[in-house]
Structure 1
Amino acid sequence: MSITKSQTEKIGSIFNGNRFIIPTYQRKYSWTDTERKALWQDIEESIKDKMNHFVGTLSFKENKSIGLSTDTVYEIIDGQQRITTIFILLKVLIDKISNEDVKKNQLSAFIGSHNNLKLQPLGIDGEFLNQLLFKPETLDAEKINKRSQKFMFSAKKLFTAFSNSLTETEIEERIIFIRDNIEVLVFNVVSQAQAVKMFSIINDRGLPLRILDKTKSILMLYSTLHLKEKLNDNINNSFEKIFDAYDDLLVCREKLGILGRLEENTIFTQHYYSSRKLFSSTWNNRDGADTIFDNLKVKCEELKDRPDELKLFIADYLEDFEKFAVSYSNLVQEVETKVIYQKTFRYLEFTATLYPLLVRLYMQGKLDDLLPILETIEVRVYKLRGTNPIADMYWLSSHISEYNLTVEEIKGHLVSFSEKFVNNHVFRTYLEGAIYGNGAVKYILSEYSNGNHNIEIYKDYQVEHIFSKDPNYDTTSYGFADDYDYEKNRLGNLSLLEKGINIGLGNLPPINKVNGYLKSTNTEIRNLAGQIQKGNFDKLNVDSRRDDIIEFSIIRFNLD
């Protein structure tokens, strides 16, 4: 059954006699349990209220049928998140029908068969969906690495849990409701140009267009309308790689516990901050994602009547953004395996402001040589001083992408940057103060204790007050004066101790913490236990220890 050009359709009539493909350039499946639960609840409430349920708009482009198939094949332009979710839900419900003949009939009408699905994402996600729906026992959840595949697996798991409590009559009721009472507004477009126009204006009810979708859409629009579709394939291919790179970054973020609140806006804006050459007239290091997107549209609009220049700009932007996104993903994936990246990326955790520069240096093969000075900048400026200067860093990120600077030239810029914000005198001054709670303290103490801890141990460490934070003893008997509230938080009175051990020590004096310290994996605090056990450990020892740590830090995090 062909889908008419524009009308409201039932889900049942859409799948009847039709097949759908999700092209590789589309973003991958990304609905979470939040959206899936909302769909389930909408269905439940609509059944209870005896009402139809409208799920938004779908946009298709008819393709030629393959081989002798009598089904019409459609390319999904917009709406694949909802279609995929409903498709998985239907398969879960149909699997629970006990009558094998009825089950076979329903599968044939709505789902298809093994290796011949009615909904087929192209590429490896298609292979995964087929396996998930027909051979789920062959999947190992722990080995699913692609984010889109994790989401599809979670969708089936969620709907299975929800449907397990239903009777067979209730299962049939929901299948019939989805078939006959879920409605969509369908747009069946006939050309790529029409498809692009439609995609650029549709408001997806379930998951609004995000910045990468909008960027791809606007570039496709200008390529289609003003370049006779010459760059459409380039745009599709580049954004397939950009979408995959972003999804891989999210998987790495969860796995490695880095990158903070990374989102699509992050990779989009960080690329912009390091590509001033592409936006010479509008580039501003404080622009947000919406402004950057507007700048992109303005640039395309300015060039639309000069097709050669428009083509060059879009091609340059695509090439640079793709390389940036893929390099970003490759860099973060190497963090897990490359020894020299472990401490700076996972223990210290570079501030987001540094990532445009880190990625550009990685792209140029210069990151490894400059890692020590970047570590020093992170410790001194971003962690210890607690500032987040962006203008100089984004300028340098763009500067090195525009000009072929040597490692020494880039190092000169980085040294000047650090001297501007935290030179050795300022560094020492900060280290002298009461810095408990400062973002650099844990890393400095880890390095001072030789820092050969694995990530699990490092994450478990807490910053311990040797003379307690809230002592249950008289601190003046250990040489402290009335300024103990200041002195207790200085560097010499701080060390690293496992959380479980630290909790058990409470507010005891140092001599009563010795047994606990001796249980630690931290060699430095075990040695400290020996010093305390020796006797007469007081403020003078803490002051001497502070001087040692400061001198160590000046040498360890130097600007040479």
Structure 2
Amino acid sequence: MSKLNIDQKTIKELFSNKKSDFLIPDYQRPYAWGEDECQTLWDDIFSFAFPDGNKDNFDSDNDEYFLGPIVTFKNEETGKQEIIDGQQRLTTLMLLLRAFYSRLSKMNDENTVKTKEIIASCIWKVDEFDNPDKNRLKIDSEVSTDDDKEEFISILKNGEATKDMKSKYADTYRFFEIRIQEFLNEYPSYFAFLPNRVLKNCILLPIEAESQDTALRIFSTLNDRGKPLSDTDIFKAQLYKYYSLKGEKDEFIARWKELELLSEQIFSSQSGSPMDELFTKYMYYLRAKQGNRKTTTEALRKFFEKNSYALLKNDDALDDLESLASFWYSIETQSDKYSERVLKQLFILHYAPNGMWSYFLSVYFMANRTASNELDEEKLYSFLNKTIAFIWSYAFIRPGVNALRTPIYPEMINIVNGEEISFSEYLLNESEVTAGIKNYIFTNGRPITKSMLAWWMFQDPSQQLIKLDTKLEIEHIYPKKRQENEKSLSDKNNIEKLGNKALLEENINIRASDYRFADKVKYYKGFSNDKGVYKEGTKDNELIKMATLYNDYTEQNILDRTEQIYTEFISFVKEQNLFKV
């Protein structure tokens, strides 16, 4: 069982301890606190130290203000306490203490001198007579992507944020200098109490783990105001060390920053880092190369940490990640390096019922790219068609991403072995897929509804490509409100048939939602309002054709269009040779 040292401590107790020697490791993010976070901290501290604005309402023996946890482990190589959680908070407190120290240095009464000596022991290492050595700080930063960390060190050593300093460290230090001066102007007789109460009554919870892994696990369970440490931060540290040993540290930092910026433009993440998604895509390629077809996928960090992160400690890893990120950037920006027909298929895939397609395509790219990161146009188009046909069909008979892993993982292995995808082990039963699609209830909340409508939209060869950031909603061509009012459909369930739905731009969908078909026409086609302002119509070519050809959209139209979509989809799957013979 892992051992933990946990002991609530005041700032003075934690920082002034002679063994305190903190290191912000290379994989952490740069300092990111801004004025809002600093103002919140200042307001909280002031309210705590002077309840109701009165210094005499404070109970120095019992009042405590909890600032949060600090999770560390002892790095055996450096002998320092490596900070896993709390680095933003710790950095800010150091800057606050330094601002207090600078102000106290201008005062000479007995109380301020004593407080200044305590602060000095918190910021700097001291000799056996407790004299501070201002060249030996109790905190250091090795953050690989932080160009401003030298300013942090300079401010702590010299107590000055010069005009040419533009970092967040400098901004925070200046912020506290201003607040301290304002405080002195308004409450001159209170000043000695503020730093003293911060030091002796503000509480931290240092949690010292015996290893980095234990510290990371603890961190993942804690709530924190800051951004959570991502898997990518750990991977960055491993790559940083690898390139540092090669003497290519600066080159790595530059390349990593570009990769990070690119990833932020194309990937989103609910937690962690956008680059976690890039590493996940890369993981699927590597596990396919390993011949791994297990449907239980390991957590990202668990996959890469094997053998001391050997999968990252080579010259290929960063090259591969850069190539993969560039590939996805070209997809998300609909680059003209790909033909329009390929871009249309990629547009359809963005409406897939689950995200497995993106990992499948990533493996295909990595295995089939040329030296210049190009793909054969004809083979790519064929791959995309077969992928759409299979994933869409599988959603009707085996819904859910977990079920899809069973046929997809073996095909990933086939791809890296130079074979074309066939799904030969998992060919579909035509009658089963046909029954599945005909019996499916296409409510708007089911992902496959949008999937089918996106596929159907581009079965029209004249349909123009639509930008990926266009917000498309599901339109009921025969309005639900009309059915509620007239009850004119022989079967009320026909309102949710696929033949009554299409993808429509969100802003047009809002305007057209409750109108009769004859009233919708102008919204589909575009029109000028009473002020002469032109309101653009839809880019859905089928809706424009309907608006031109139809006077009304009836129940029979719904049924006929539904059958047409079903029939053409089954034919599409058959063309991809995905049905058992």
Range into which the TM-score falls when normalised by the shorter chain: 0.5 to 0.7
Specify the alignment match of 1:526 in structure 2. 544
> For the structure 1 residues 186 and 468, does the alpha-carbon distance in structure 2 shift closer, same or farther, using more than 3 Å as the test?
closer
Determine whether 1:538 maps to 2:539: no
| Offset at residue 373 of structure 1 (A) | 2.9
| Corresponding position: 1:462 with 2:467 | no
Tell me, yes or no, if structure 1 residue 412 matches structure 2 residue 422.
yes
Q: What is the identity, as a one-letter code, of the residue corresponding to 2:332?
A: E
Is the radius of gyration larger for structure 1 or structure 2? 2
Distance 1:94 1:514, change over 3 A: farther
Residue of structure 2 aligned with 1:87, choices 71, 91, 110: 91
Residues 412, 17 of structure 1: alpha-carbon distance in 2 compared, 3 angstrom cutoff: closer
Residues paired across the two proteins, number: 474
Deviation at 1:82, TM superposition (A): 1.9
Aligned to 1:501: 508
SS at match of 1:527: helix
Deviation at 1:556, TM superposition (A): 6.6
Between the aligned partners of 1:37 and 1:95, the Cα distance in structure 2 is 15
Name the CA shift for 1:517/1:204 in 2 (closer, same or farther; >3 Å).
Answer: closer
Sort the Cα spacing of 1:502 and 1:60 in 2 relative to 1 into closer, same or farther, 3 A: same
- What amino acid is aligned across from residue 554 of structure 2 in structure 1? D
Structure-2 change in CA distance of 1:487 and 1:529 (3 Å): same
Match of 1:336 among 329, 332, 335: 332
Is contact 2:443-2:496 (8 Å) kept? Answer: yes
Q: Any idea what the Cα deviations from partners look like across 1:71-90, whole Å, max 9, x if unmatched? A: xxx78552154234332355
What is the 5 A alignment of 1:305-316? 315=310
Q: Distance in 2 between matches of 1:396 and 1:237?
A: 38
The normalised TM-score by structure 1 is 0.60
Give the counterpart letter for 1:464 in structure 2.
E
- Residue 78 of structure 1: SS of its match in structure 2? strand
Structure 1, unaligned stretches of length 5 or more? 1-5, 64-73, 140-148, 188-195, 221-230, 301-309
Q: Mind listing any 5+ residue stretches in structure 2 that lack a counterpart?
A: 1-5, 50-57, 108-115, 125-132, 156-160, 223-228, 527-536
Pick the structure with more helix per residue. 1
**Per-residue deviation, residues 274-313 of structure 1 (Å, max 9, x unmatched):** 6558988x984225539x94x999xx8xxxxxxxxx79xx
**Cα distance in 1 between the residues matched to 2:38 and 2:425:** 51
Structure 1 counterpart of 2:410: 395
Distance 1:466 1:399 in 2: 43
Conserved 8 A contact 1:59-1:79 = yes
How far, CA to CA, are the matches of 2:325 and 2:94 in structure 1? 35
Q: Find the aligned partners of 1:182 and 1:40 in 2 and give their Cα distance.
A: 15
Cα deviation, residue 466, structure 1: 1.4
Superposed CA deviations along residues 492-534 of structure 1, whole A, max 9, x for unmatched, are 22223333333344543312322332332324323322223xx
1:364 is matched with: 367
1:28 aligns with 2:45: no
Alignment of 1:451-490 (within 5 A): 451-456=464-469, 458-459=470-471, 461-471=472-482, 472-474=484-486, 476=488, 480-481=489-490, 483=491, 485-490=492-497
Name the structure 1 match of 2:64: 51
Cα offset, 1:365, TM superposition = 3.3
The 1-side partners of 2:434 and 2:163 are apart by: 57
Mark the CA change 1:543 to 1:184 in structure 2 (over 3 Å): closer, same or farther.
closer
In structure 2, distance between residues paired with 1:232 and 1:91? 27
- Of 500, 512, 517, which residue of structure 1 is paired with 2:519? 512
Shift of 1:539: 3.2
Q: How far off its partner does 1:315 sit?
A: 3.4
Q: Kindly indicate whether the alpha-carbon contact (under 8 Å) linking 1:434 and 1:489 is maintained by their aligned counterparts in 2.
A: yes
- Secondary structure of 1:455 counterpart: coil
Matched, 1:491 2:486: no
Per-residue CA deviations over 1:429-476 (Å, capped at 9, x if unaligned) read 6268652422413423542561522234x31x2211111223255454
Provide the aligned C-alpha RMSD in A: 6.2
Q: Following TM superposition, by how much is the alpha carbon of 1:378 offset from its aligned partner in structure 2, in angstroms?
A: 3.9
Are 2:396 and 2:440, in contact at CA under 8 Å, matched by a contact in 1? no
Letter in 1 for 2:410: W
Q: How far apart are the structure 1 equivalents of 2:44 and 2:464?
A: 53
Match of 1:126 among 147, 160, 168: 147
Cα distance in 1 between the residues matched to 2:296 and 2:505: 40
Matched residues in 1 for 2:503 and 2:232: separation? 46
Name the TM-score, length of structure 2 as normaliser. 0.58
1:23-48: CA deviation from partner (whole Å, max 9, x where unpaired): 43x34359999999998899679756
Task: Give distance in 1, aligned partners of 2:520 and 2:288.
Answer: 59
Cα distance between partner residues in 1 of 2:256 and 2:88:
20
| 1:552 Cα deviation from its structure 2 partner | 5.6
